[in-house]
Chains A and B, each alone.
Chain A
Amino acid sequence: MTNSDLALIKERFETLTERESSDHVALNCPVDVFVELCTALRDEFGYDMLVDVTALDNDVQSPRFTGIYHFLSISKHEYLRVAVDCANDIEPTLPTLAGLYASANWHERETYDMMGIRYEGHPDMKRILMWDDYPYHPLRKDFPLAGIEVPLPADDVAEVTGASVLPAPMMGGPFVSSADGPMSQTEPSAHDESWNEKKIKPCGN
C-alpha cells in the first residue's frame, strides 16, 4: 500500500492503528467500522481479492480472539493485513464479509470450525472440516493436539465397531525439527514435553 493511500485510509477511519508487521502493511481495525473499511478497500483502493481469513487465539489475554484478514490488490500487486479484535471472549463474533467477497464464505466457515468465531450475517454458518456435531474448536489454545474423546460421528458404525474418537498417542510429541542446521542434526524431536496426553498443559486454561 502506498503511503498516500495509507494516509487517506487513516484520515477517513480515524480509529485505525498500524499493526506491527514484518512483511506487508497491517492495520488494527475496531469491529464497528470493519465492514465499512472493507467496502472502501474493495471499491476505492483496489483490494479486489480476499486471500485468507483466519484468527488468533491470544490464550489468557483479553481480547482473546482476533480475526485476521489478508487482502490482495491484483492491479497493484500488494497485500494488506487487517486485524479485528472480538469483543466477547466466551462467544466471539465478527461481522461476515461473505456479502463483499465470495471467498469469505468458506474461509469464515473454516475459522468458525477451527476457532469458534461466529460470523454474523453469514449465509451458511456451519462447520466445513470437522463433522457437524463435533463439540470442540480444535485450533483453540486450550484444545490438546491429541484431541478429546467423543463418540464417532455415525452412531451405527460406532455401535458395530465399538470405536470412538480417542486422543491420539503423542509419545512425547508433537515432533518438530529445527529449521536450521544440517539435516543430520535436525531429526524431529519433541519440542515441548511439558504436556502430552498424560500430563495436562501446565499454564493457561
Chain B
Amino acid sequence: MQNTTIAYDSKVEGEVIVTQADAVINWIRKHSVWPMPMGLACCAIELMAAGGARFDISRFGMEVMRFSPRQADCMIVAGTVTYKMAEVVRRIYDQMAEPKWVVAMGACASSGGMYRSYATLQGVDRIIPVDVYISGCPPRPEALLDAMIKLQDKIGTERSVKNLIPKKADSEEFATAEKES
C-alpha cells in the first residue's frame, strides 16, 4: 500500500515527494510506537526480555517503554487482570493520549487464561478495546515482537485523521456542556 501512495519523479519534482497525509502520518506513527508496559504477572518477564539485548525490541522502533501513560501510545497488557485491578487498567488507558492502541499479551489478558475464577476479569477486552491478541502462557518474546509488527501493519492501514473527529459520546457531552453554559 505504501508503495502506491508515493509518487516520485526526480526530473519533474526535484527534491519533493508527493504522497498522502495518511501515508506520512501512519508511517511516522508506526515507527515510533511508545509502549506502556502494563505488567501484571509473568508475561511481564517476557516483555522485559523482549526489551533486552537478546530479543531487542528496538530493532522495530518501539523500545521507548514509558511508565507514564501520558507519554505512551500503546498499552501492552501483560498478565492477569483481576477485577480489583480492572479499574486501574481502565483509568491508565483513559489517561493515554490519542491515538492509542492496546496489545493483550498472553492467555490471561486475552481471555482470563487458566484463571476461571471469581477474582479474574475474563479478558481485558471487556474494559478496553484490544487491537492485537497474543496467545501463549506466557508468550515467547518473539511472539510479542510478531504482535507488535502486526500492530504496525494495522496502524499503517488506519485513517490517521479519525481521532481528530470527536467521538459521538464526546460530542454529546460537549453539547450538554454548551447548553448549560
Contact = CB atoms under 8 A, between A and B. Distances in A.
Interface stretch (B13-21, B117-125, B131-139): B117-125
A146 B117 contact: yes
Contacts of B116: 145-146, 168-171, 173-174
A153 B122 contact: no
A153 B119 CA distance: 12
B86 A130 contact: no
How big is chain B's contact interface, by range? Answer: 10 to 19
Contacts of A146: 116-118
Contacts of A166: 122
A145 B117 contact: yes
Contact of A161 (B83, B84, B126): B126
B87 interface: yes
B87 A153 contact: yes
Contacts of B83: 131, 152-153, 165
Contacts, number: 63
The binding surface of chain B is classed by DSSP as: loop
A147 B87 contact: no
B161 interface: no
A168 B126 contact: no
Contacts of A138: 118-119
A46 to B, nearest CB: 38
24 contacts: A129-B119, A130-B84, A131-B84, A138-B119, A143-B118, A144-B118, A145-B117, A146-B116, A148-B118, A153-B83, A153-B84, A154-B87, A157-B86, A157-B91, A163-B121, A163-B127, A165-B83, A168-B112, A168-B115, A168-B116, A168-B118, A168-B122, A169-B116, A170-B116
Interface of B: 83-84, 86-87, 90-91, 112, 115-122, 126-128
